[in-house]
Chain A
Amino acid sequence: TKEEKQRLRKEKKHQKKIKEKKDDKEEKPVGAASQPPTQPSQKGDLAPAPAPVPVPASETPALADKPAKSKADLKAERRARQESERASKQGKKGDVGQPVPTSKPKAPPSELQPVVKRLPEHVQVDNPDVLKKLAKKLERQQIPLRSDYGYKVSLFSHLHQYSRKAPLTQQLGIPSTVIHPAIVRLGLQYSQGIVAGSNARSVALLHAFKQVIRDYTTPPNEELSRDLVNKLKPYISFLNQCRPLSASMGNAIKYIKKEISNIPSQCKEEEAKSKLLSCIECYINEKIILAAKAIAKYSIEKISDGDVILVYGCSSLVNHILCEAFEKKRKFRVIVVDSRPRLEGREALRRLVQRGISCTYVLISAVSYILPEVSKVFLGAHALLANGYVMSRVGTSQIALVAKAFNVPVLVCCETYKFCERVQTDSFVSNELDDPDELIVTRKGKTQLEHWQEVPSLGLLNLVYDVTPPDFVDLVITDLGMIPCTSVPVVLRVKNVDQ
């Protein structure tokens, strides 16, 4: 397999060279100068496929659209990995003189790797070069490009803003030859908001991938491990166009790709496929279902009789915890806080009321009225960032802020597969903009903002996520236990070492 991988890499490099000849020549990686003909010699020392690279989860794994600078970074990354591989496994040939930027030779592979990241495309919308590269890539993969909609507030000009009324699938032919129908359906469900919520999206994604794998046949003269990964790339781009990938989806995709690449070449197709399917099942079971059980077990210790618990929006995990606690005969009542325009709290309200839990319902503007009654706040998370910030539905940080002002403890529940290596300090640099038309409302027969597009100085902003600083959060309950917010990078490192 080593030879195969070298060959693969050579082919890829060749293709890239043809396209981006000039950029190759310009860039010399800093710590590894003096190697113009590095490509041929490097391949001898190369580590396995880039899947386990600690690339941020929300990136699309696109090779062709990265700017030239980060190719040099990728080389530096590979060099670091080489060094560590050499130290831990076989003595390889040559290239001893390659200076390694920061990693220590004897350290395990995950120790202090120079984490240089490509900036994901979806936060560079204001850069026309990046847009052009994306368009070219999508054209190559035969996926339609989704166009932005409406006037974008200048603070967010670096993000996409799409309209719900123009789903991507309208531009696809029927039947789509490039994209598997399960993926088309999934993309439509994402973009219309039918499947929403971090866990739901990941599970739906994994099920769709299972279907893809079942229907997959290896073409002749191709290897399953390589070809399947290549097949998945256009699907991932398509899903990204429908709705930007979440952190949990990114982690799931990384896992799948790693599993696929690790399939030995002598494995028969049927065997390989069943192995992959069982891997995916196992992932869903471990990371989502069993994790939820573990988190519920820990959380129930924190719920006492007579509690008044505040929840925000609809988090499947928090709902699960409350239902479990109710089954265990804890006496508490719940206050569900909701916000426009998504009004997801109504769904949570329905689920809780069905179980028989006594609930109160308010909008987020009334939260400072209701907080004096509350004893605890349970929040769900979309992702936990490496600097301890909690990325969650917009409004979560506000609730944590007001709870802090009233001295009410805030507990965040999050599975470990949602932990993400990104760092972020405010809600602007990386976010998702939803359809601005959803803010429009008709009250008493009058729709004030109906013609907002015609008024030049009026903009509507419909944010989807925000980040909560760690000082507002008192405890994070994960399947590994109850940790403070600042221990997230520790968990990430432990996970990387395990892998």
Chain B
Amino acid sequence: MPGPDRETDLTERIESFLSDLKRGGSGTGPLRGSAETARETTALLRRITAQARWSSAGDLMEIIRKEGRRMIAAQPSETTVGNMIRRVLKIVREEYARSRGSSEETDQQESLHKLLTSGGLSEENFRQHFTALKANVIEAINELLTELEGTTDNIAMQALEHIHSNEVIMTIGRSRTAEAFLKDAARKRKFHVIVAECAPFCQGHEMATSLSKAGIETTVIADAAIFAVMSRVNKVIIGTQTVLANGGLRAVNGTHTLALAAKHHSTPLIVCAPMFKLSPQFPNEEDTFHKFVSPHEVLPFTEGEILSKVNVHCPVFDYVPPELITLFISNIGGHAPSYIYRLMSELYHPEDHEL
């Protein structure tokens, strides 16, 4: 029968997505880029919207929130999942508001005036039923998907504005966005790229081989040499895992050192980050900020006896404060780190910050 089948099919898909997330984070499963995760999350949310049973926007949001919490719990460090959920929730709110006929601005903006005068209006419980809501929401989600597909290209298109000839550009680790950015610029300009290998995973090696195959002069250096060569670098262009609400970054470990070295030499630090990486988290949550992987990467088991007497840490991420960043390049253009909070308020509704 169509009903239960669809439901079981849906739950199956959700379960398989969750297990993928769990496996992917520990480094053992297939590594997937954030863009892929974002796309899959959005597709899954679209499916939930289409197949789950709900009658009003409030129900839909509850379902999405519930599934969303499970997804986030599966892999807390993969913030794009949470970001996409919040985007979809905002879409639902918008579509509901549009169906109801009320203008969107009054509902969304939080202002001190509103808080004082209209206490009752924000008690929106989204209980009204609109028949066209489902179709509208699915259409909006499709638009979101199209936007996601074009992010890397949109960022890469801006490359020529920022890179001139004969520059020495530094990067760290492997970022698909930064890679596309540099390759796009390399079609027209000649420049030199220095890649810091980013131990212990050494993803910089992959980045370097890929860039050199595109004809870019690439040099691989060890992490320890970042400050030593920084005096010769004109720009630092990196990708990141997450952009935090204060404009700081959660990026691969070693990025903070790179940012400090760039600041010392007054070298601009440019972060290529698509909008779906913007997350309403702040860096103060100490226990959820860092993620650690097996210390075997750092001190292998072959070292023998000393292993039992030594503490070994292998953090994956670094926090980079917003003062060290010069520019964010996203699919909607370039921004200063001080503007991020504004973008955040346009992308997500404040009530969705805590799912």
**CB-CB contacts of B207-224 with A at 8 A, as 1s and 0s?**
011001101111111111
Question: In the assembled complex, how far is the CB of residue B310 from the closest CB belonging to chain A, in whole angstroms?
Answer: 5
Interface of B is mostly: mixed
Among B180-203, those with CB < 8 Å from A are: 197-202
A339→B196 CA distance, assembly (Å): 12
Contacting residue for B225 out of A358, A443, A463, CB 8 A: A463
Which partner residue on chain B sits nearest A362 by CB separation?
Answer: B313
A393→B290 CA distance, assembly (Å): 29
Question: In the assembled complex, how far is the CB of residue B132 from the closest CB belonging to chain A, in whole angstroms?
Answer: 50
A346→B299 contact, CB < 8 A:
yes
A455→B225 contact, CB < 8 A:
no
B226 within 8 A of A: yes
A53 within 8 A of B: no
A365→B306 contact, CB < 8 A:
no
B257→A341 contact, CB < 8 A:
no
Report the number of A-B residue pairs with Cβ-Cβ less than 8 Å: 164
A441→B311 CA distance, assembly (Å): 24
**Chain A residues, Cβ within 8 Å of B221:** 461, 463
A362→B312 contact, CB < 8 A:
yes
Which partner residue on chain A sits nearest B192 by CB separation?
Answer: A154
**Chain B residues, Cβ within 8 Å of A155:** 229, 232
B257→A398 contact, CB < 8 A:
yes
Most buried by B among A349, A394, A428: A394
B310→A401 contact, CB < 8 A:
no
A458→B209 contact, CB < 8 A:
yes
B86 within 8 A of A: no
Question: In the assembled complex, how far is the CB of residue B171 from the closest CB belonging to chain A, in whole angstroms?
Answer: 14
Contacting residue for B257 out of A340, A358, A368, A458, CB 8 A: A368
A221 within 8 A of B: no
A405→B212 CA distance, assembly (Å): 34
B225→A359 contact, CB < 8 A:
no
B226→A398 contact, CB < 8 A:
yes
Which partner residue on chain B sits nearest A441 by CB separation?
Answer: B202
Give the bracket for the number of chain A residues in contact with chain B. Answer: 35 or more
**CB-CB contacts of B109-136 with A at 8 A, as 1s and 0s?**
0000000000000000000000000000
A463→B228 contact, CB < 8 A:
yes
A304 within 8 A of B: no
**Chain B residues, Cβ within 8 Å of A452:** 209, 220
B315→A341 contact, CB < 8 A:
no
B205→A448 contact, CB < 8 A:
yes
A-B contact pairs, 5 of them (CB 8 A): A361-B312, A363-B298, A394-B222, A401-B257, A459-B220
Given A368-B256, A397-B228, 15 extra CB contacts under 8 A: A353-B306, A360-B311, A361-B312, A362-B312, A365-B257, A395-B225, A398-B227, A405-B260, A426-B231, A439-B222, A443-B202, A455-B212, A459-B218, A460-B220, A461-B219
